[in-house]
Structure formats: C-alpha cells, structure tokens
Amino acid sequence: MSKNRYPRLLGILPLLGTLLLGGCNMTLLDPKGQVGLDERNLIITATLLMLLVVIPVIVMTFLFAWKYRASNTNATYTPKWNHSTKIEIAVWTIPILIIIALGYITYEST
C-alpha cells in the first residue's frame, strides 16, 4: 500500500460509521416515564464519571507510545525504577472515589 491511501481510508471510516448507525434506535435514552427518566440520568452520569478515568488512560497511552518510540533517542529510559508512592496513590484513589460516587448516586436514585 502506498502512503497516500491511509488518509483517504481514515476519511471513509466516519462515513461508514454514520451509515451503519443510521438504522439505530435511541429507545434507551428516550424514556416514557419518571422511572425511565431517572434510569437514563443514572446511565449518563455513570458513563461520564467513568470517562474521567478512560479518557486520560487513552491519552496517556498515546503520549507514552510517542515519547518512548524507538526513533526517539532523547527519551530517558530507566528500567531499574520500580515504585512511586505518588503514582500508586493516584492510580488507586481516583478509581475508588469514582466507585464510591457511583455507589452513592445509585443508592440515592434507585
């Protein structure tokens, strides 16, 4: 494949997604009663709270891959490094707080 084919392929993918999603129905997010409305709000809130973890992980994955690629000779690689209390606290505290928030919201709304 030539290098010029990839941008064209990347331009076609969103159009293909639009065609495939054209027949979908938004029944879940179109509630008919108060209980359905509350459940919809709970689903949206839970999704947004979980995205607080998912989006930074995806961004950091790309940043780390870019920084430590084979062609980047300026990146400092320290294979003997094995522990950071600050990172451990962040990695465990943030998801725990989100789970507590989701549990509280679910308990109060259902």
Average pLDDT over residues 15-44: 85
Domains of the chain: 27-75+82-109 (1.10.287)
Diameter of the chain by CA atoms? 60
**pLDDT at position 4, please?**
67
**Number of neighbours of residue 23 by Cβ within 10 angstroms:** 6
Of 57, 63, 46, residue with least CA distance to 109? 46
Q: How far apart are CA 38 and CA 31, in angstroms?
A: 9
Per-residue pLDDT reduced to its tens digit, 35-73: 889 889 999 999 999 998 899 999 999 998 998 888 888
**More confident call, 16 vs 96:** 96
